[in-house]
Structure 1
């Protein structure tokens, strides 16, 4: 069986690659998907729909185009990993976690201990909370091979 895992959240570090490499090294049959991780491309997703007079409308159009990909890939995933980084607030990641909760889609959060409090509701609905990509790989290994 091929397991599909959607990797949501922070785009400024290599955590996705660490998980993919760890899963490959463990011999896990996993297909990883993710949002667009090129920040400029994501921000410009709706630019082809015409110019806007304010930044709000550019973001509004692009977020709707990005949502087509995000919603589809989350719905198709067997599991979602939601990463909250340290440098930026990933409101989109919190939204993805809420979408998973609403769908009954299993998800795991990945974040440092110092943001447990602001993520308490997000973590409360998650199947697990991890602090390292290696812990995510171990969850995947167990889920597929136990």
Structure 2
């Protein structure tokens, strides 16, 4: 069985690469997708494709709408959605993605540090698993695919 996994959330650390490498090392049959992680491209895609906007609100709105096409498709077609909340910024978009995944009945894994437990208690309550590390996500995927407890 091949699992389709959408990796949502913060873009300032290498957590996605850690999960991809861990799954490859474990020989897991997983296909990954996710948002555009080039921050400048993500912010400016709307005006780059559809034309400049003098007002920053509309500049951002164009980009958000184009990114939403990719995000909606990725979440809707995924078997599992992993949402990572990082330390550096508030990730409102990650919370929105988690809510969308929950509303669609997707299997949701939430990843964040202990310092975010209180702030994300409602998001965590919607998840089927809450973890702190990329290695734990790989272990969950291994268990789901193979029924195997790896360590």
Report the TM range for the smaller structure's normalisation.
over 0.9
Structure 1 residue 45, shift from structure 2 partner? 1.3
Structure 1 residue 92, shift from structure 2 partner? 0.5
Residue matched to 1:6: 6
TM-score, with structure 1 as normaliser: 0.98
Structure 1 residue 2, shift from structure 2 partner? 1.4
Residue matched to 1:64: 65
TM-score, with structure 2 as normaliser: 0.95
CA distance in structure 2 between the partners assigned to 1:44 and 1:107 by the alignment: 29
Residue matched to 1:16: 16
Q: Structure 1 residue runs of 4+, over 4 Å off?
A: none
Structure 1 residue 52, shift from structure 2 partner? 1.3
Q: Secondary structure at the match of 2:120?
A: helix
Structure 1 residue 54, shift from structure 2 partner? 1.3
Structure 1 residue 50, shift from structure 2 partner? 1.9
CA distance in structure 2 between the partners assigned to 1:17 and 1:50 by the alignment: 33
- Report the count of equivalent residues: 146
Q: Tell me, which stretches of 5 or more residues in structure 1 are unaligned?
A: none
